[in-house]
Structure 1
Amino acid sequence: MKFIASLAALASVALAQNAGIGYPKEAQKLHAGDDVVVQVQRPNSLTGSTELSVAIGITSCVSSPCLSPEDTMGNILYHGDFKPSYHESSAPPYENFTVKVPSSLKNGKAQINVAHFALVGASNYPFLETLNRTVTIA
């Protein structure tokens, strides 16, 4: 029973640390070769955390289903520090990253992938999550 309680506690800590993708929006049209803003949000939680980094990638899904970002990040557009902060009271803390969509990306369905890494809680539990957002390359 203690084991199940421990797993539940770890799961609740992990869920409390989730990041999100604010931009681009789902199915938004992007253009190959253009700059695009990827907004990574990190809402506050009761559990303390130390934000370390994110990696942002993009992959084409024109000729095959989009793969999970756990399996591939695609073309890496950014990797480095992640320091979300408040910008307006109506939005959670976030950081915007301006990245260039590769000019070689085929028109059609594509996926923005984000890997988020943080240390969580008093014990500095290592936490890694992956996120994705489907977009259209026009």
Structure 2
Amino acid sequence: MPPSASPPTTFGQLPPSRWPGERLGLPDEGPLSVGRAGRRMLGLLIDYALAMALAFAVFRYTFLNYNGFVVTGTYVLLQVLFIPTIGGSIGHRLVGLRVIPLAGGWVGPWRPIVRSVLLGLAFPALVWDSDQRGFHDKVAGTVLVRG
């Protein structure tokens, strides 16, 4: 068999997916399809607004005087609390998304912690693969799906 016809051996040699989630065995549309960018961003805005509101209320911050680390910490805490209990953050659930583990079953306590701490660092969410999974989801073994 010539080298160009050999089966892929590394991730970089895999052919492009036809839709996000194809390689994960997820459908192109409908329930359990990978959550697309618009829903993700809207969910993120909702979650960050809730984190800001909570941090502002607890620490008596204003828009002119607040600590971004406290707001980000509040955001991470809300993610860690709600992903294992309601299947996603409040923003995720309001826009019709949920976080599931690739292995199936319950997401458990450690996946939301790893996922959320990495997400709090911001840059993992900016690095996506062809399945539209950020680095934080890849490390945690999770995927954000519709449903």
Structure with higher strand content: 1
Both structures adopt the same fold (TM-score exceeding 0.5): no
Structure possessing the higher relative contact order (Cα contacts under 8 Å, 6 or more residues apart):
1
The TM-score bracket by the shorter chain reads under 0.3
TM-score by length of 1: 0.25
TM-score by length of 2: 0.24
Structure with higher helix content: 2
